[in-house]
Amino acid sequence: MTLSCLVLRRWLGFATLAAALLLAPGLTLAHPHGWIDMRMRLVVDDQGRLEGLHQAWRMDPFYSLVILEELEHAAGGGGLEAGLDQLGGEIRENLRPHDYFTELRLDGERLALGEVSEYTVMSRGGRVEFIFLLPLATPQPLRDKTLHYKVFDPTYYLEVVHEAEDNTPLDDALVVGGELACTTRIVPADPDPERVMEAAMLDITDEAVPGLGRHFAETGEVTCE
């Protein structure tokens, strides 16, 4: 099995999903091979400190269809809800060694992340959604600072983008909780043409250079007064 499929298998915890992707028409031309629509909410306490990132990831319709069919087949007496609960635990465990695909910087300094303990998986509108709270190792004051984050699959097998309509991010794609006055924006990726060519030349049987996905990640920016 290829490295790309192994990454996907580890991430989702289902061997049949990776096998299905290998057989799917139209998915063998170039990276990425699937996408995730993301919504981000910054959790801020009453002292203006960032406590964590509440993230919601909606898998694309094809991934969702394969996952839901697999869960229906394997659910047995537990039903789909039990299967989704199990899937949530598997996703969390497989994302843990990779900082949950999240890179966070405050005024340029990389922030340490904690462990995810609050999460759920549901089916919404025919798509599988993984919702979780990613805490910081230590809460950080946001006042008079600028926060940047990226969420990406290092292999760029899956593309993670903020939920949008007509290429315009939705109002709830990035929000800040609490009482701080903050401005937000989502900066599109601007990869070097060589990186674009590198990604375009990869097919489902190739191994991506570690970290390739970072160059294609959108950047969330939050500045608080």
In the three-class reduction of DSSP (H, G, I as helix; E, B as strand; rest coil), residue 78 is classed as helix
pLDDT band at 4 (very low <50, low <70, confident <90, very high): very low
Q: Do 35 and 60 form a contact (C-beta atoms < 8 A)?
A: yes
Does 215 have pLDDT greater than 90? no
6 within 8 A of 14, measured Cβ to Cβ: no
Give residue 150's pLDDT.
97
* Percentage of the chain exceeding pLDDT 90: 55
Surface-to-core class of residue 128, CB atoms within 10 Å of its CB (0-12 exposed, 13-18 middle, 19+ buried): buried
pLDDT band at 77 (very low <50, low <70, confident <90, very high): low
Domain ranges of the chain: 3-224
Q: What pLDDT is attached to residue 19?
A: 38
Four-point Cα dihedral 166, 170, 174, 177, nearest 10: 170
Cα–Cα distance between 110 and 102 in angstroms, integer? 11
Q: Residue 69: its pLDDT value, please? A: 85
Write down the mean pLDDT value for the chain: 83
Give pLDDT, residue 34: 84
pLDDT at 219: 97
What would the two tokens of residue 198 be?
A: 């590198």
Helices (H), 60-183: 61-74, 79-95
pLDDT score at 72? 78
> What average pLDDT does this structure show over 18-42?
65
How far is the first Cα of the chain from the last one, in angstroms, to the nearest whole number? 50
Write out pLDDT tens, residues 188-199.
988 777 777 777
Residue 131, pLDDT > 70, answer: yes
Is residue 80 predicted with pLDDT exceeding 70? yes
